[in-house]
Amino acid sequence: MTTLPASTNRKMGLVIDLDTCVGCHACVVSCKGWNTENYGAPLSDQDPYGADPTGTFLNRVHSYEVQPLATSAMPHPAAQLVHFPKSCLHCEDAPCVTVCPTGASYKRVEDGIVLVNETDCIGCGLCAWACPYGAREMDAAEGVMKKCTLCVDRIYNDNLPEEDRVPACVRTCPAGARHFGDLGDPDSDVSRLVADRGGMDLMPEQGTKPVNKYLPPRPRDTLDEVDILAPLLAPVAEEPKGFLGWLDRTLERL
Amino acid sequence: MHPAPSVIAFTTLSGAGFGLLFWLGLGLPDVTGWVAFAFFAVAYALAAGGLMASTFHLGHPERAWKAFSQWRSSWLSREGVASVAALVVMGVYGAGLVLFDTRLALLGGAGAALALATVFTTSMIYAQLRSVPRWQTPLTPALFLALSLAGGALLAGQITTAMALLLVAGLLQGMWWKRGDGAFAASGTDMATATGLGGIGQVRAFAPPHTGGNYLLREFVFVVGRKHAAKLRIIALALGFALPLVLLALPFSHAAAALAALSHLAGIAVSRWLFFAEAEHVVGLYYGAR
C-alpha cells in the first residue's frame, strides 16, 4: 500500500558530514558495487566504454563552491569547496511513495526505509518526478525504478561480520564522513551528532521531512601568522658591525 | 521536464476525447443510430487511443493493470480507475443509443461526470508535484478541464458553447503561463536550501558528480527549445484558440468545423509540449541548471 505509515518504529538513516567529506567518490563506487551484485536488478551502464557513457547510480557526489560575503574584518574571504554526497533521504513524508500507482513503492513501518518492490514497478517514472532530490533513477536496461535501500541486505545480514552490517557507503568511507543509525532515538550516536553539530535538512520547504541529515561545514580557520617560515627568512643583520662594519664604511669612502 | 511524445499525445487526444464523451453523455448532440456510432467512434479513438499511447513510455507495460490498485493515495491510479469506469459506462450508454435508439439519461449523466473526473485526475498528477513549481497550482486542473470541455464541445458540434469555452480556456492558458513564469522563484527552493550551504555564502555548482549525462538530467533538466517558448506560445494561442474561433464565427460548414477541430488539437499539442518543456524540476538546482 502506497499510503505512508503514520509513524515508524525506528528512523534508520545516514548522517553525512560535509566538513569531513573529501570528495573521493569511494561511497559511489562501493554503492554501485554492492547494489549491482546483491538485492534487486543490477545497476546497469549504457555505452560504458564508448563516447557517451551513462549509468544508474544510487549515490552521487556533487561539489559546490561557496563564496562567503565580504566583511570589513575579512574583505577577501576565501571560497570554500564543499563535497556533497547525495542519495535517498528516506523522508518521513516521502512524496515518491504516495504517487506510486501500483504499490511498488513503500515505506517500512519497522525502520522507515523507503523501498521499491521491483516485481510490481511498471517504470512509469512518476516517483522520480515527485522526488525533489533526484534520489530515484530509472534503470535503462531493466525498466524499473532504482533507489538507495540503505543496504537493507547488509544491515540485518547475520552472515556478515558485525562491523560490516552498515550500508556499503558508510563502511567504505575513508574519511569517516558518513554515519549510520537510528535518527528516531534521541540518544543514538547519530542523533547526538546531529544535535552537537547543527545537522540540517535539505529543501525543508518541500515538506518531505528527510530522515538523513547533513552536518554543515565548519568555518575555515583564520591564522594570524600565515607563513610559518617567515621569521627564519628575515635578514640576520641589517647593518654590519665590528670589523666588517669598519671595512664597509672604509670601502664606501674610497 | 522531458517532453515525451507519448505523454503529449495522450494528454492532448484523451483530453479532447473525454471532453466529447462528456457532451455526448449529456445528450449534446442528441443523436442515435449510425450518427451516434460515428460520434462515439471518434470519442473512443481519441480517449482510448490516448490511454494506449500513455503506456508506451512505461518500462513494463505488461504490468500496467497493477496501476488500478492504489487509488487511495495515487492520482495516477485514480486516473486509471476513472478512465476505465468512464469508458465502460459510456460504452453501455453508447450501445443504447446506437443499437436500440434509447437514451439512458441517468447513465449518460454518470458517464459524463466520470469523463470529467478522468480529466481532473490527469491534471492532478501534475498539479500535486511540489517538485515542479510551475505545475503546482489549482490553475492546472482548471486549464485541463477548460481545454477538455472546449475541445469536446468543438468535436460535438456545439458551436456557441464551444466559442464561449474557447474564450475561457484561452484566458486560463494565459493566466497559467503568466503565473508559471514566476513560479520557480516564488517557490522558495533555490541553491541555498537545496544544499543547505546558503548560510555560508553564495553557492555555485563547481563539479557535477559525473562527466557524462544521467537519467535525472535527461528527464528533468530538459532545456532545449526554451528559447523559442515565446514564439511557440503565440502559435499555440493562434492555432488552439484564435483560428477555431474565427472558423466557428463563419457561416456553418462541416469543412470549417473539421478544420477548427484539427487546428485546436494542433494548438493544444503545442501548448502541451510547452507544458513539459518549460517545466523546471527543482532537482536541476543540484546540477546548477536553474
Predicted pLDDT of residue A77: 85
Mind listing the pLDDT tens digit for each residue in B11-46? 899 999 999 999 999 999 999 999 999 999 999 999
pLDDT under 70 in chain B at which residues? 223-226
Mind listing the pLDDT tens digit for each residue in A16-52? 999 999 999 999 999 999 999 998 999 999 999 999 9
- The reply to whether B221 touches chain A by the CB within 8 Å rule is no
Q: Which residues contact A143 (CB under 8 A, 6 or more apart)?
A: A123, B58, B59, B60
Mind listing the pLDDT tens digit for each residue in B200-238? 999 999 999 998 889 999 898 876 666 788 899 999 999
Is residue A128 within 8 Å of residue A97, measured between CB atoms?
A: no
Cβ distance A101 to B67 less than 8 Å, yes or no, reads: yes
Predicted pLDDT of residue A1: 59
Question: What 3-state DSSP class applies to A66?
Answer: strand
Amino acid at A118: E
Beta strand A12-17 with A213-215: parallel, antiparallel or unpaired? parallel
Domain-located, residue A225: no
Predicted pLDDT of residue A248: 83
Q: Which residues of B146-168 are buried (b: 16+ CB within 10 A; e: fewer)?
A: bbbbbbbbbbbbbeebbbebbee
Q: Cβ atoms within 10 A of the Cβ of B88, count?
A: 12
Cβ distance B207 to A143 less than 8 Å, yes or no, reads: no
Predicted pLDDT of residue A246: 85
Domain-located, residue A71: yes
Domain-located, residue A241: no
Q: Which CATH architecture has domain B5-287?
A: Up-down Bundle (1.20)
Predicted pLDDT of residue B133: 97
Cβ distance A103 to B66 less than 8 Å, yes or no, reads: yes
Amino acid at A61: V
Number of domains in chain A: 1
Predicted pLDDT of residue A2: 73
Measure A131 CA to nearest chain B CA, in Å: 7
**Whole-angstrom distance, CA of residue A96 vs CA of residue A129:** 8
Using only the alpha carbons of chain A, give its radius of gyration. Answer: 27
Instruction: Cell 457532451: give the residue.
Output: B23
H-state helical runs in chain A: 26-37, 95-98, 126-130, 152-155, 168-172, 189-197, 230-233, 242-253
Cβ distance A66 to B201 less than 8 Å, yes or no, reads: yes
Q: Which domain holds residue A145?
A: 12-215
CATH of the domain at A167: 3.30.70.20
Q: Cβ atoms within 10 A of the Cβ of B108, count?
A: 23
Model ipTM over 0.85: yes
- The reply to whether B161 touches chain A by the CB within 8 Å rule is no
Kindly tell me if the per-residue pLDDT of A237 is higher than 70: no
Cβ distance B194 to A202 less than 8 Å, yes or no, reads: yes
Chain B residues touching A129 at Cβ < 8 A: 1, 129, 131-132, 219-220, 281
Average pLDDT, chain A: 93
Predicted pLDDT of residue B225: 61
pLDDT band at A223 (very low <50, low <70, confident <90, very high): low
Cβ distance A95 to B206 less than 8 Å, yes or no, reads: no
Domain-located, residue A233: no
Domain-located, residue A222: no
Window 28-57 of B: residues touching A by CB (8 A cutoff) are: 57
Domain-located, residue A208: yes
Closest by CA to B21, choosing from B141, B111, B138, B128, is B111
Domain-located, residue A227: no
Chain B residues touching A61 at Cβ < 8 A: 209
Window 109-148 of B: residues touching A by CB (8 A cutoff) are: 125, 128-132
Lowest mean pLDDT segment, chosen from A8-22, A66-80, A103-117, A137-151: A66-80
pLDDT band at A130 (very low <50, low <70, confident <90, very high): very high
Kindly tell me if the per-residue pLDDT of A186 is higher than 80: yes
Is residue A170 within 8 Å of residue A178, measured between CB atoms?
A: yes
Domain-located, residue A240: no
pLDDT band at A225 (very low <50, low <70, confident <90, very high): low
